[in-house]
Chain A
């Protein structure tokens, strides 16, 4: 019995490793930098994390279904530029209101996702290639919108677009709006992943596509929806950034996709699909965000920050493999422990 308890404990620790790393980082930075553990800083930290977390949540669905989405950074840039262009220049000199600009920017983002999904499912293009293509297409489109320039002063000269600025700048109960968005979207998607037929379908498609198809699951539709959702999250991120900066830059979001994938992987989601969780990705995004901000506060050089981030990702994936192997080895012991707990054969 003692040995079985030990096996359970080891697996639990490994399963919670991302949380443990996060807690360790929080403690480390609180000790090393005096102002780290203040309400104000934590709120700003969460705001920074929200950007990569939103991307990671969208990416998680794609990865769970066995795909990958490299276009999210570019889509974020495009979405901000579409909104920026509509707010400042508009159609034929008629600048749009904030609501219209937001809706159209999100719609354009979804269209990119739809393109990704259709290429992957109907045309049989490998996800890596299809989304690499849209990475360039969306970035190029963002640059074309303004011939390379930024759209400045999105608030408007008379403050007519203050609604748009509220997307990224307002507070509710002292918590910044992007953090609310992250919490809300993560909660909803976690619920979808765990508690709806669609969520189960996503896991099944990523775990064994042929088995999913034989079970009557419409594999193509599931895949397309995951890509559209990922692009929608990316579009939202683009709007949040444009709103925070009060200007839209065509280069916004470069290499964001790598941060999002890193967060997903840190959270224990398998890039082969079928295994992982939204909560894991959220924690992964927090680990990356806390690490980045903490190192900045400590005054560590940019170059070291990059190295440390890489080391953390590699370690996380290594431990992930270790957990899988250990789990297989300890499974007999676990089976016995379950049986002894009274869950008998049915």
Chain B
């Protein structure tokens, strides 16, 4: 610290903005980007915008003011984030969008996304397989104003709606929350007699549904989630959840940071702007191979 006081830190600044730091997914994403940036010899600042476009605006302004070289952003909305990214790009910051895209191209140096649609179809297919392609099921949606919630439910239905003997009897939003998924599942289980499966837009809601099923004393209900969070993978190992799809968050963050480094050193990333990284299905069979949003074996 003292050395730092005498000679100012001349390393370039990388600002990492993610939706929140109290969610394991975003935390893993932020941690991975920060760790790789430090490895590559940058200074790092990490902040959360809480899915609030206004707060994101302020944080981007702060990044501009502190003369950041790179912005790694998991943004607060495909449309509402455009102006902030444009402002950062004009100020000469190299913007790398991760996890979520914006609706305009040419502003960011790269938009590296996990394939939510492919991931949703992957887990929906596994859900159908586990149910024997038949039976009533319910769906727990994420916050309905969120792009990813819409992409995922579309992916689910691209698979499930082609199967004539599978019927969705109810769909409710649980706003990504475990407590809300718990009480809404309890209620839906009451409203509809025979439910064989629950498909959830993220792992947190899937775990809430699992707790509700357990509390109702029911067995054999197939529950799948999305994200590949450590808690969900543990629940898959113990049999409470059937499957989830892992978004390669750590991989994406590292890719973004590597490309940023390349951009600064050579002036180009050498890759197209839009890069889609496929998701991976996690079931009991391969659960041991994943930890904290990355494949370790």
Contact = CB atoms under 8 A, between A and B. Distances in A.
Let me know if chains A and B touch directly in the complex, using CB atoms closer than 8 Å. Answer: yes
Interface of A: 33, 35-36, 38, 40-41, 44-45, 47-48, 143, 147-150, 152-153, 169, 241, 244-247, 249-252, 293, 296-299, 301-303
A48 B170 CA distance: 19
Contacts of B191: 33, 35-36, 41, 296-298
B190 A249 contact: no
B69 interface: no
B190 A35 contact: yes
Contacts of B170: 296, 299
Interface in B186-221: 186-188, 190-193, 207-208, 211, 215
Contacts of B9: none
Contact of A250 (B22, B186, B231): B22
B177 A302 contact: no
Given A169-B215, A245-B208, A249-B178, A44 B186 contact: yes
A297 B208 contact: no
Given A35-B193, A48-B186, A296-B188, A247 B27 contact: no
B186 A251 contact: no
B21 interface: yes
B244 to A, nearest CB: 15
A104 B178 CA distance: 24
A245 B190 contact: no
Given A247-B178, A303-B144, A44 B234 contact: no
Nearest to A303: B144
A89 to B, nearest CB: 15
B188 A302 contact: no
A296 B190 CA distance: 10
Contacts of A249: 178-179
Contact of A251 (B144, B177, B190, B207): B177
The 3 closest A-B pairs by CB, nearest first: A148-B22, A297-B191, A302-B173
A62 B190 CA distance: 35
B188 to A, nearest CB: 7
Contacts of A149: 22, 24, 27
B20 interface: yes
Contacts of A250: 22
Nearest to A40: B190
Given A148-B23, A150-B24, A251-B22, 4 more contacts: A152-B231, A245-B207, A247-B207, A302-B173
Main DSSP-derived SS at the B contact region: helix
Most interface-central of A36, A150, A169 (chain B CB within 10 A): A150
B182 A244 contact: yes
Nearest to A51: B183
B184 interface: yes
Contacts of A301: 144, 173
A297 B171 CA distance: 10
B118 interface: no
A303 to B, nearest CB: 7
17 contacts: A45-B187, A47-B186, A143-B21, A148-B20, A149-B24, A150-B24, A244-B215, A245-B179, A245-B211, A247-B231, A250-B22, A293-B183, A296-B184, A296-B188, A297-B190, A297-B191, A302-B144
Contacts of B67: none
A245 B183 CA distance: 10
B172 interface: yes
A245 B193 contact: no
Contacts of A297: 187-188, 190-191
A149 B211 CA distance: 18
Given A148-B20, A169-B215, A244-B215, A44 B190 contact: yes
A41 B193 CA distance: 11
**Quick one: which of A36, A148, A153 has the most chain B CB within 10 A?**
A148
A44 B173 CA distance: 19
Contacts of B22: 143, 148-149, 250-251
A287 to B, nearest CB: 16
Given A48-B187, A297-B190, A246 B231 contact: no
Contact of A296 (B20, B23, B187): B187
A296 B138 CA distance: 12
Give the most central of A33, A147, A250, A293: most B CB within 10 Å: A293
B190 A38 contact: yes
Contacts of B175: 302
Contacts of B184: 296
Interface string B16-40: 0000111110010000000000000
A293 B187 contact: yes
Contacts of A153: 234
Residue from B21, B178, B231 having most chain A Cβ neighbours under 10 A: B178
Interface in B139-154: 141, 144
Contacts of B172: 296, 299, 302
Among A169, A245, A247: residue with most chain B CB under 10 A: A245
Contacts of B171: 299
